[in-house]
Amino acid sequence: MRESLFKWRNTCRPMLASGLAVAALAGCTQTAPVNPFAAMPDSVTTEPVANFKSCRKPEYPPQALAAKAEGTVTLAFLVRADGTVREAVVRKTSGNASLDETARAALAKCRFQPGTVNGAPKEQWTELKYTWAPE
């Protein structure tokens, strides 16, 4: 019995000592408490989204269609908090002024789901691209 106790001490004592050291060091690896609000941005913003069912598709200008003009126009819209367009401008031309103006005028009549800041509707700019291609 004495011999088995001696064996146990010699075998388990180093393991117990290393286990206690690990347990003691475990407290040293603890990090400072995380503030869940520290990483959050000051505000959460969503962009306006066009509701294309609320407006008509732009009609191909006859002169542009006859010339087989095509291209993509980039438009910017200032959308009010009520979802209507306050201002519409061409940001990048399609290469054809009549295509640009027709798209700008038609899409400015669309209603938008307004953009929000922290959940409240807010007047904001948004961009859309419209591609013209003769059918």
Q: Which has more confidence, 72 or 21?
A: 72
How large is the average pLDDT for residues 12-20? 51
Q: pLDDT-derived band of residue 21, with 50, 70 and 90 as boundaries?
A: very low
110, 53 in Cβ contact below 8 A? no
Looking at the DSSP assignment, which residues form a beta bridge with residue 126?
A: 77
124, 81 in Cβ contact below 8 A? no
pLDDT at 94 over 80: yes
pLDDT at 20: 45
Q: What domains, with CATH codes, occur in the chain?
A: 45-132 (3.30.2420.10)
- For the question of whether the overall pTM of this predicted structure is more than 0.75, the answer is no
